[in-house]
Structure 1
């Protein structure tokens, strides 16, 4: 089943019209119609909005078999441990494996903004015990993996690493993924005295969010980095 049919089926299961879904999610009606009628690219922030209204997990949209990942394969692992926000969704800790949508072509820029308009092409199969031990996670919902580009968050985040992000509230000083217009940025959030996005690389100027069309999508809980074995 393709992503268009999945969105339509989930909407109809909630007894919502396309207009009602558009109003509740904040995604335009034209976009909803386009997503449901053809294999149209969908941004991750729109997918998150739609999934929230339809009360379904992002894993529902991951339409390929899971890809197992371990430290002995092609990636190494950071151990950045940010405390996630718990969401109101059931979890079964005894069921250790989860699939995390991997948006291979969605890029959040750690430099200038990058346009993002892709859908999930695969999923990463990871264990909850692995995520708890390595990332300090105890809530495993609304997770996704996207590619981070640029060097503005160096040395905290290396260039071209895979970011593990979790949708939800972002605290002062946490690294977050923010949409400004149709571009995604990965920066550190400053809430006071003014709302800004800060770079750990001081060669980059802060981004003032006041007056911008923006949405803070979630915080970065860690990253994966490809290595050559």
Structure 2
């Protein structure tokens, strides 16, 4: 699967949400401006939901459901009430996948987001979370090429932990193991075929967050 490409399931969910919102707009005789004024959701973001080019996060699903006075399942079919082995379907959360990073922008700025991965909300750790899509084999076999790595945004990690780090003038996020020797900081690949990245004033780096878990699409 290409970087940032959605799965067929994710595409189907996005299409269903778009169709549901359009039907509600038509039957309730409202406009996107009306929705924006009531919910505070940016108009450009609403346009993405209406056109099916982006997927609402859990918070915006709730705002849309409140605006139309419908259950969340009337917006997003993942919230339909189903009984599976006598257990309620868990509420899902959309975690952004970060792509290329615009210099100076916050890491989760909308222009940096390539898509979302759905996670069971109550299994996620606290904090500001995002996914990085691993490219290359520098962290293999720990993190294979194409894996998605969940990151909790924080300014530092313990020695030896894997971190998402900004390099190349704050425009590229890489996954490396942070090692410290006195005042020297090195970003170490787990694959010994790759060279360490030594942090210097001429070769700076900035930690974005700690790697928490990895997942991959088959």
Between 1 and 2, higher relative CO (CA 8 Å, sep ≥ 6) is seen in: 1
Q: TM-score, normalised by structure 2?
A: 0.50
Relative to its length, the structure with more helix (as a share) is 2
